[in-house]
Structure 1
Amino acid sequence: MRIIAGLFLSSLVFSASLRAEPIGEADLLRHIEILAGDAFEGRKPGTTGENKSVHYIASQWLAAGLKPAGVQGSWYAPVSLVERIPERSQIYFSDNSRGRNIRLREDEIILRSGDPSFRQSRMAVVFAGYADYGQGQDALPMAGKLVLLPVEPPEGGDGSESYRDRKLELIRNGAVGVIGVVDDQKRWSRFRRSYQRGATALAGPQEHAALEGLISLDQFSRLARKSGLDAKSLLADQAAISYVDLGLNADAVAETQVRTYTSHNVIGKIAGTNPKRGALLFMGHWDHFGECRIEDPLTPEADRVCNGAIDNASGISLLIETAKRLSPDDHDRDVYFLATTAEEKGLLGARAFVRNPAVALENLVAVFNADTVALSDDRKMIAVIGLGQSGLDEDIEIVAAQEGREIDRSGKPDVYLRRQDGYVFLERDIPAFMITSAFADEVRLQAYINGPYHDVSDEVNDDLLLGGAAADANFHVALGRYFASTITYPGLAPSGGADN
């Protein structure tokens, strides 16, 4: 009994010492080497690499003293995903007034179906813009129609006008199909190649139309001319257009490879002493692309695994070490840690979380997303993606001043606002930030995006810069201590729900 008590006391002393010790480069590197090692196979959702990844994260959070906050007392929350890869499709358009067929280039329109097979005739074809419909108006009459929708929203639009959101709105209004118009002919080949590789979405009938696709600017222009319209005018005026009946019908068939599978978010929690005052959430995505290159028979030994060392083994390593430094005795609010799946497929794990959250969203005081942090040795300058989107800017500035960090005011990192998991929370009016030195170093960031990003060369090598990442990790610890305490941050969640 004395031995057990002694061991327990030693562990407490060690734990207290660890929590007081700053996070160093070696602390982060240890996790990155494991998560981005070949044994984890590139951390692709739905694979053995996923199993190893989520188990490692859960085991590290357990060792840090977190409690599981997933489904039924586990560390995990299942996320149902559907992968669709187009196999074969044909579509024919005809002019209503004269009944003439309109020939399009088959290599400039590509389709996929929601189910493995789609076949439908005489679909009315309309063009939809991004107009504000106002309040109290009936939904657009889209039932049974095939909608041509610009992929790029008009300049000056907000997040509610994204292609994804607009597409889902059309599906809810009964559109049988949505075909995106690629408004730059020079980009068509890249869009088509990406579409051919397939796409993954959350499972559910409202996530994918019965028929979806892309059409090039040239072929959309041809359809518009047959309708007596000018394509450039339609695209230029789309912010003022709700929809235009093109006077066309379409007959289409599509065959698609459809695979449904389950992936997982990992969720842990440090209980606070006064959870009625709200909760804090740290998050980052664990997933990457797995084997991302086709085996070449001439060089079978060539590397084919996208290990994702920087994107985002580095962010997960930051979360693990941050969790170790936050003691339940230090704060009033609950602190949650979330490792999301399928970020690379469209922020899907984050979207699944906000639909079925482990903590009531109205109680979240702030969300901090860690992604791609190992790109800089700068321990002073930080990018704060999400600045200006909520009422917490002054508090972020207070923590930055306390930690001797300077905020990048160039505005350049804001271009990544919608491309990271935190944006899903901003859509719900929950303050969310991605704070890192990596995105304040524009030269290195662009060199990474134009080089190792989403490639086999994003692995543990000399390109991994951890000086800034270690400073960022300690900054996240400071954020945790500041926002989890009602002394330093007495405010409520934006909705006021935390006191309910």
Structure 2
Amino acid sequence: MTKLALLLAALPAAAFAQATHFDPARLSHHVEILSSDAFEGRAPATAGETKSVGYIVSQFQAAGVQPGGDLKDGKRLWTQAVPLLRSNIVGAPTLSIASNGTVLPLTQGEQIAVRAPLTGDKHVTLKDVPIVFVGYGVTAPERKWDDFKGMDVRGKLIVVLINDPDFETGQGDFGGKAMTYYGRWTYKYEEAARRGAAGVLIVHETAPASYGWATVKNSNANGTFDIVRADPKATHTPFETWIQRDLAVKLFADSGLDFEAEKKAAQSRDFKPVALKATLSADYAVDASTIVSHNVVGRVAGAKYPNETVIYSAHWDHLGVGAPDAKGDKIYNGAVDNADGISVLLEMARAFAKGPKPQRSVVFLAVTAEERGLLGSEYYGASPLYPLGTTVGMLNTDALSTAGPARDFSISGSAKLGLLDDLIEEGKKQGRSFTPDARPEAGSFYRSDHFTLAKRGVPAISIESGEDLVNGGRAAGKADAEAYVRDKYHQPADEWTPAWNATGQVLDAELLFNLGERLANSREWPNWSADSEFRAIRDKTAAARK
């Protein structure tokens, strides 16, 4: 028996019988190439992008799909141009906090992680700017919640906690442990900009952030990107940062406050902002410029309804070359995140191109700059190549397990939609069960490319590998997932190894293929649940689907 057959023998026969479109060796080979040092971590607007785009295009061509990108002279290109603002801090920033009569110098990447500004500023200078603690930094009128209580924070720095006010207790106005968008760091920055703050200091804690300080440091050290905006200062402040918890504890203590007590107070709607007896100064130059990155797009045109589209997506980018780890490795290879998602996308394109032509069109969208804030998919959502009103759904693949086949599967987040019902039904045909996101507090729904279309109403999900492993059960699956987040996520250690077991990815890919094929050959239009925040947006385009 083959290795795949041996491993799947512990699963129902249906799972093995359906595993016909994907080869674990081919999936693994794509990852080996894309995550090799030669691709330099696949950062946008680098030689790594050129190689990544070239490889994806060559594989789409070999698969037999057609170009689905921008129109030029009446013909589709393989790519969609994505203009981005790129910003880098020049040299080491000068940073300090004055507190309790002393000045404490801060080192980038140690006590603080400063993002290069996305306001277009060429220089950032802050001199003794006052600091205010505003709890979780949330303004949610529908929940009768306002952490600012009328305080004018214009020109000030705000300190905010990560995640939602009810993360600690698991109950309250924000859905318990499941993170809402109010808990995401992107929301904290956006709200600060809306209020005219000079900047934001997000207090990092591993549990509510769902990742360690190494991830924060690495994610902010390699430059920042944003889509080109008419008014960037409406969305960003000049000074967007994270700080270590220990620094926050010291700042509070210097002001005669107990950090844990203030955090507890912030979990109530009665919380009021607290001015800290501290100021911050910063000075650094910025290299800001506009570059053009690229989404890569392949397409199989529908035989009967070519104007109706099913989208498969995955992001091709990672963090590029950055600060070395303890072993001196500077290349952030991004093997799991997300070379394996692209490998599935490439083989998905091959499967559809080689099979019977679907009734609806199927698009294979490899997006850029996910690691910089879902920017490639955000650009596609703002400038869609195919109308969103007649997009049936988006099926995203990001960071599948390398631990082997599982008896279950999941999705990022806890959204309710017909697309999930269909996925569960297809999973049952494999003999596999659905397990809800085990960590909804991590806010995974808002951290993958499906979110940018979901917020525009398109039914969208991002599949996650199951944890109930054939070899080792849930204990082994949980341990593997936790080890990846702790030791490899957004670190140079996220590298391909021949010891990987890609047979689980075969099952996940097959499940997504079956769902996409079902949608592409039906008249079904999945929708969000009646109480979903995305239902009303989708319903506004209902006339396009008649």
**TM-score category of the 2 structures, normalised to the smaller one:** 0.7 to 0.9
* Structure 1: tracts of 5 or more residues without a match: 1-19, 95-100
Please say if residues 94 and 283 of structure 2, whose CA atoms lie closer than 8 Å, have aligned partners that are also in contact: yes
Distance in 2, matches of 1:242 and 1:276, equals 54
Question: Offset at 1:255?
Answer: 0.3
User: Which residue of structure 2 lines up, in the alignment, with residue 466 of structure 1?
Assistant: 502
Which TM-score applies when normalising by structure 2? 0.72
Question: Offset at 1:401?
Answer: 2.3
Please say if residues 288 and 344 of structure 1, whose CA atoms lie closer than 8 Å, have aligned partners that are also in contact: yes
Q: 2:133 aligns with which of 120, 127, 130?
A: 127
**SS, match of residue 412 in structure 1:** coil
- Matched length: 468
Taking the TM superposition and a 5 Å limit, the aligned residue runs for 1:102-141 are 102-107=101-106, 108=111, 111=114, 114=117, 115-121=121-127, 123=129, 125-129=131-135, 130-134=137-141, 141=152
Are positions 1:237 and 2:265 aligned together? yes
Are positions 1:143 and 2:170 aligned together? no
User: Which residue of structure 2 lines up, in the alignment, with residue 391 of structure 1?
Assistant: 418
**SS, match of residue 371 in structure 2:** coil
Question: Offset at 1:246?
Answer: 1.6
Please say if residues 376 and 437 of structure 1, whose CA atoms lie closer than 8 Å, have aligned partners that are also in contact: no
User: Which residue of structure 2 lines up, in the alignment, with residue 87 of structure 1?
Assistant: 92
Taking the TM superposition and a 5 Å limit, the aligned residue runs for 1:398-417 are 398-402=425-429, 404-409=430-435, 411-412=437-438, 414=440, 415=442, 416-417=444-445
Distance in 2, matches of 1:277 and 1:498, equals 15
Q: 1:163 aligns with which of 185, 189, 210?
A: 185
Are positions 1:208 and 2:244 aligned together? no
Distance in 1, matches of 2:502 and 2:205, equals 40
Distance in 2, matches of 1:466 and 1:244, equals 50
Are positions 1:314 and 2:340 aligned together? yes
Distance in 1, matches of 2:307 and 2:220, equals 48
Q: 1:353 aligns with which of 365, 377, 380?
A: 380
Question: Offset at 1:412?
Answer: 2.2
Q: 2:449 aligns with which of 417, 421, 426?
A: 421
Q: 2:364 aligns with which of 318, 329, 337?
A: 337
User: Which residue of structure 1 lines up, in the alignment, with residue 284 of structure 2?
Assistant: 255
* Structure 2: tracts of 5 or more residues without a match: 1-18, 168-175, 470-476, 529-534
Taking the TM superposition and a 5 Å limit, the aligned residue runs for 1:59-70 are 59-70=58-69
User: Which residue of structure 1 lines up, in the alignment, with residue 24 of structure 2?
Assistant: 25
CA distance 1:237–1:334, shift in 2 (3 Å) = farther
Distance in 1, matches of 2:497 and 2:446, equals 29
Letter in 1 for 2:157: L
User: Which residue of structure 2 lines up, in the alignment, with residue 16 of structure 1?
Assistant: none
Distance in 2, matches of 1:345 and 1:44, equals 10
Q: 2:78 aligns with which of 75, 79, 100?
A: 75
Letter in 2 for 1:61: F
Distance in 2, matches of 1:353 and 1:117, equals 31
**SS, match of residue 373 in structure 1:** coil
Question: Offset at 1:406?
Answer: 0.8
Deviations 1:328-355, CA, capped at 9 Å, x for gaps:
9643333221112233344333333323
CA distance 1:184–1:421, shift in 2 (3 Å) = closer
Please say if residues 413 and 445 of structure 2, whose CA atoms lie closer than 8 Å, have aligned partners that are also in contact: yes
Question: Offset at 1:273?
Answer: 4.4
Letter in 1 for 2:33: I
CA distance 1:351–1:139, shift in 2 (3 Å) = farther
CA distance 1:326–1:379, shift in 2 (3 Å) = farther
User: Which residue of structure 2 lines up, in the alignment, with residue 433 of structure 1?
Assistant: 461
RMSD: 3.9
Question: Offset at 1:478?
Answer: 0.9
User: Which residue of structure 1 lines up, in the alignment, with residue 195 of structure 2?
Assistant: 173
CA distance 1:291–1:125, shift in 2 (3 Å) = closer
Please say if residues 315 and 370 of structure 1, whose CA atoms lie closer than 8 Å, have aligned partners that are also in contact: yes
Are positions 1:485 and 2:509 aligned together? no
User: Which residue of structure 2 lines up, in the alignment, with residue 285 of structure 1?
Assistant: 315
Are positions 1:444 and 2:480 aligned together? yes
Distance in 1, matches of 2:496 and 2:115, equals 37
Taking only the aligned residue pairs, the percentage that are identical comes to 28
Please say if residues 54 and 266 of structure 1, whose CA atoms lie closer than 8 Å, have aligned partners that are also in contact: yes
When Rg is computed on C-alpha atoms for both structures, the one with the higher figure is: 1
